[in-house]
Structure 1
């Protein structure tokens, strides 16, 4: 190159992911001009080859994609040969077999070098399946004689055993956070295979918000993909399969989610980033008990509808606020923040209350909210009890563990018409009919009321009155009706607590048993304290209901009140008449005395009113 010449580089990039860059140089009058053009289809296009209708092969490459179309009535095997010191990973991203065939007629069987079966894929198997083994493996595809379009895409790669090509994935726990691909926001590496397992507190679901997804674009997500599973492993139901350039909002049905990222050997982009947070399964809140604390998560929309913000909520100890505002979460220690510990029989319970600070001033237009949470420890069993009150009226109650039992009032002993109003206004000594119902359609389960007690306090921290304890009636008006599949019924007469408000709340513990187990706790009735743990049961559950309030006026109270008022009026009238007569006599006597005195006095000056101007 002659003196005085210089290189001029001009870079021209095309953002279409289906091309790759080629370069060439020209020598213009002012110097060398190097131009980068993106012209030739990239590896993404090279992988989109016509479907090969082949039947088996021996593969020795360290990695290879396979797009296979199969005809009817075939039995084909692909042998992947790899050294004994390598691990081979095989990923199926598309599996399209004859949908009308069963697994015995048509399947894909994966075996290792020793012919041990690693897995069998059937026509109804998920598209995404992954197999790993040391050394090589074999893939046998067997089809029936039916005419059908059959197509599968698989990709394998091998790597030294014990040394993953990319370090990523892992187990995670928490109520919120972020999951992102390796190197994000940089380009993700080739041969990445990452699996994240995320667990949130019990009785919650997980909301996933993918703020960015940018991986290889393909309508079938064959090459690079993100698989999201609704559960703790890749065996859980597939929630969604994502690829290309997009965003996504997903929500699980459980408190676990599994994410799998799989990439091949070409076309690396920015990967993904997803924020997650735990939300209660119910409309209000969720409770989870652990070794030394409770975790409560509140639905933001529920709080917003009541006109409150997270900053206004505290535990019983007002210095203990939420640990997170997105989601709204409380971590409640057993030994602090106003948690009340109670020991009864073999049960230890811890109770705390989440409430909003009272409004200042004379009036408020917001309901007073309380979320009452209790963790009960009974031997090896942990029971999670939570219910919400608005203005001391229980709005929602549930036992948030394995079984959900509800407690409802009915208008009569026929148990046909439930009482829907709350509070439930009753007359003193009125017979009240209740049914504990297992909200689970299982014809093999029956319910038995073990204990039931009342309190004037919706938190049950005041004195309680036993109706039944360990199956033994403690109130002489308590009556048990025959139980049936999934329910237990009883009645008692309404009462009030002396020197307290007229509200009564009930908490009942029920035992759930197999209906065909004659030796179960449900069939043993009243059991004394020293025989408390005899008899088998599937689970224990608590149910809460209330308040019951006495009617403002019963007929007897109205008649008595009228009689008292009539007597009071008559008494007051007699006293008033007597007072008037005495006053009139005194006035007459004083007038006579004054007249007599004035006649004895001599004439003197008298006072006359002077007219004013």
Structure 2
């Protein structure tokens, strides 16, 4: 961490009009651009988190060898660490780091919440560990475009007096949700050494089949056999402690292959626009839950299985300017500067009931896998 982003000669952002490499400081192409490299120029780059992505751009004119890259990872500073978990964020601060600044473990508190049992830290022989809820202990929730941010602060200050010689210590914690990823940041402010920790993680969305339109009983058998043209009911739900989030089904695509959604596909819904005549959405019991159905089918040439890949969008609940409330959107060519990823979930296989000869599918929640969005 904190190493120079370009330690060898490299070309940044300009002069690359044909074939070039883009290096991003994070898991997606919407992450900050570190460098754009071309014309045989080499470079060395360092990410500020546990992710770096690389994109190769080419045209159809000249064909050569391509590019080669080597990478390695190294541990970051362990004085502070932040984890953004499903129900809370966890801040860990080294006791030796506090001692180096002239503080003891008991000096570090969440301002205004030091007497609340829920907001007090666990003190071990080596660390001070704060379990900070997303709703409570003074955590502030903010929104920036499609980003939802949960932030709090840990403080250690000198006792009241006429003079002081120790710096106040502020450790600011922030968990930032970008539709399909968490960005964890932690840094020290107020004239002290600045420390920054960034981690990316998965956003947890669960999707499963249900036995009827009442959505009372999830399908638990595996395989789950159905008849041709049978109604299939699905429910997707955000798994997170913040209840003021909304979920929207942007796209669902069917394929006979679990890992190929480009060769042979069929759209149920795309960009919020319904493409299949049997697709129907249901009223949401809460903004965090999305429900829909469609009638089973099989692909020609008798492929035995059907897989679904659904793209979900997470927004602030009741934010009517967000994507979750705009419905069908006919998309034009994306602006690379505003590109944002979403939650991709693959569900299946679904197979036709064997005795019927015209069957479609099986599935259970155990067949669910979650992807990280577009590959770098």
* Band of TM-score, shorter chain: 0.3 to 0.5
Structure-2-length-normalised TM-score:
0.43
Whose strand fraction is larger, Structure 1's or Structure 2's? 1
Structure-1-length-normalised TM-score:
0.28
Which gives a bigger RCO, structure 1 or 2 (Cα 8 Å, sep 6+)?
Answer: 2
Structure exhibiting the larger radius of gyration computed from Cα positions: 1
